[in-house]
Amino acid sequence: MQQPRAIGFVFLGIAGVFMMVLATAPQANAAWGSGGSGTSGGGGYYTTNGFGWKKFNKYGGGPDGGFRDGTPWWSVQAACAEYSGDSVWVHVVRNSSGSEKSFNYSGAWYDRNRPTSGADPYVYNAAGNYQYQGAAYQQHVINIVSQVKSAFMLEHSAYEGHWGVDVAWFCDGPKTTEWTINGQSYIQNGRTANKSLARQGTITATPGDRLNWYHDMRNNGPDNMDRNIYFNVDKTGFSNGWNSQNAPNGWASGGAGSLFVYEYAQFPGNPGRSASPYTLYDVTQNDVGNTLCQRIAWNPGSWNNGSWFASGWACANIPYNYSLVPNVTSPAGGGNAESDQGTIAVSGTITNNGPTKSRTNIDWQLTQIEYPASVGIPNQSGGTGATACAFFTGEASCNVLSSGTESGGFGYPNTRTYTGTGDLSNKALGTQVCFVLSVRNYQEGTSNWRHSAVSCIIINKKPKVQVLGGDLWVGRGATSATARVATSRTQSNGTYYGSWSEYGIVTPT
C-alpha cells in the first residue's frame, strides 16, 4: 500500500489559483479509517469522530494533537511567513475527546459519507464557512491540488498518480513578492545640463544661473515589482508658483535592479530627448534669500510598507550678495560759503552695486558735521562702523539732517537720491562744514553703517570795500546816472561785516 505524503502549498481562495510552498517528507505508517467505523492512526483518531479541512491562524496555535509525521507547528508557520494570508489550512482527524491531529488527505482512504451530526468534519471555505461534504468534499480538494500542479508544475515523486489527494496542509494566500524602492534627486548649476556634473544635497547659485534637476527611482529587489507605485516631485522655496506643482508624476514599476523612473533635465543616453517638466529653472532676483529644492517621493515605499517615502532634497541656496555705496553729490567739496547764506541744499545717492537685491529695512542718514578752522578731519574718505556722529571724531558739532528706512530694500541695479537742508548761519570764519551720507546693513552679514567721503565747505565772507581818508565816487557824468553802490552785511559768530568809507560814498544824482 502506498503511504500518504504531506505536501504543503498555497491556496489563494477556494476557486482561485494556488502556489506551492514546500513538500514535506512522507508520513510513515499512516492508518486510516474506512467504511462506517473507520480506523485509527494512533491515539484514537478516527474519521467517524470527525475529519476535514480546518483553518488555523498562522500567528496562533496549530492542531492540538500535532502532525502525524511529527512536523512541528513552528516549521509550518515559518513556511507560511512569506505569504500574504494569515491562515493555514490543515487536514485534521478527531479523536473521541475532540482533539485533532493532522493526517494527509487521501481520498481513497476516507469514508465518502459525511459523519453524523455532532461529528463536524470541519470543512470550511476561505471565509471560514462550512462548504463541502462527502464526494463533493473529496473532489474539492482534488481540484485544489490538481490546479496547483497544472499551473505551477510542482515537484513530484513516484506517487504522481496521487496528485490531488496526498496533502496535509497548505498556506492561504499568494507568496509575497519582496521589493524596496530607492529614490534619488540631484542638482546641477550650469547653462548646459549635464547629469555627470550633478550632485546631491545643496549648492549655491545667483540670479542669472540655470539650475538642472535629475530624479530617478530604482527597484532594489530582490523580486520584480508586483504592482505599480505612484511617484511625484515635491518642490519648495519657489516664488513663481512651482511649489504647488507636483509634476513630473505618474505610475510605474520595474524589475529587480532596474532604474524604472528617471525625470531628468538631460538624458545621457538620449541627448535629443526634451527635458522633463520642472527640471530646468533660471534663477531671478525674486529668488534671492530663498532655497530652491526638489525631491522625488513615492508610495508605497516597499512591498510591505504603504507609507510615503522620499529622496533627500536637492537644493540651491540663493544668498543675498549686495553692496550699498553712499555718496554726497551736493555741495561739492572744497568750496566756500558765507555764514549769512543761511541754509544750503544737500543731496546724495545710495547705489546697490549688486549682484543681488538687498535685504529689506535698510536705514540711511544724511548728517552735517562741523570742524573748527584748520583742524584736520579724520576718516574724511569715509568708512564703516558706528553712526556718523560716532565715526567722525574731533568735531565741534554733529547733526542728522534727514534719515529714514527703505522697508522694501534695494533692487539691483538701483540708485536712489536723498536730500536734506544744511545750516550755515552764524558760523565762525574758517569753520569747516561737512556733509556725509550713511547707510546701515550695507551688505549681507553686517549691521554696521557705511559712510561716504565727507563733502566740506569753508565759512568765509565776500570781499568788502573800505576807504580811508577820502570819498568813494561811483560813475561819471550823465551817462553814469544808473551807477549805484551795492553792498551787504555779513554776520559771523555775533560780529557784523560790511563796506564803509571814512567820509562818503557817492553816486551820480
Whether the CA torsion 75, 156, 11, 46 is positive or negative: it is negative
C-alpha distances in Å from residue 467, one per residue of 143, 188, 485, 486: 142, 85, 14, 15
Fold of 179-317: Immunoglobulin-like (2.60.40)
Predicted pLDDT of residue 500: 67
Cell numbers of 188, please? 546641477
Mean model confidence pLDDT for the chain: 79
Longest dimension (CA), the chain: 168
Predicted pLDDT of residue 124: 47
241-284 pLDDT per residue, tens: 999 999 999 999 999 999 999 999 999 888 788 999 999 999 99
Number of H helices, E strands in the chain: 3, 32
Cβ atoms of 88 and 56 closer than 8 Å: yes
Q: In percent, how much of the chain has pLDDT > 70?
A: 73
Predicted pLDDT of residue 345: 96
- The answer to whether residue 136 scores a pLDDT higher than 80 is no
Task: Please tell me which residue, 1 or 270, carries the higher pLDDT value.
Answer: 270
- The answer to whether residue 442 scores a pLDDT higher than 90 is yes
Q: Is 22 helix (H, G, I), strand (E, B) or coil?
A: strand
339-360 pLDDT per residue, tens: 777 899 999 999 999 999 999 9
Residue 326 binned pLDDT confidence (cut-offs 50, 70, 90): very high
Least confident of 53-67, 307-321, 438-452: 53-67
Predicted pLDDT of residue 135: 55
- The answer to whether residue 315 scores a pLDDT higher than 60 is yes
Contact partners, residue 431, CB within 8 Å, separation at least 6: 339, 370, 371, 372, 373, 396, 458, 459
Predicted pLDDT of residue 42: 55
Q: Taking residues 470-484, what's their average pLDDT?
A: 68
Q: Does the bond joining 355 to the residue before it have cis omega, within 30 degrees of 0? A: yes
Predicted pLDDT of residue 37: 27
Please tell me if the domain spanning 179-317 has the same topology as the one spanning 324-460: yes
Tell me which range, 13-22, 154-163, 459-468, is most confidently predicted by mean pLDDT: 459-468
Q: Which CATH number is 324-460 given?
A: 2.60.40.3880
Predicted TM-score of the model (pTM):
0.64
Cβ atoms of 275 and 262 closer than 8 Å: no
Q: Is 151 helix (H, G, I), strand (E, B) or coil?
A: helix
Domain boundaries, the chain: 7-172, 179-317, 324-460, 466-506
Task: Please tell me which residue, 458 or 116, carries the higher pLDDT value.
Answer: 458
Predicted pLDDT of residue 293: 98
- The answer to whether residue 159 scores a pLDDT higher than 70 is no
Tell me which range, 7-16, 174-183, 416-425, is most confidently predicted by mean pLDDT: 416-425
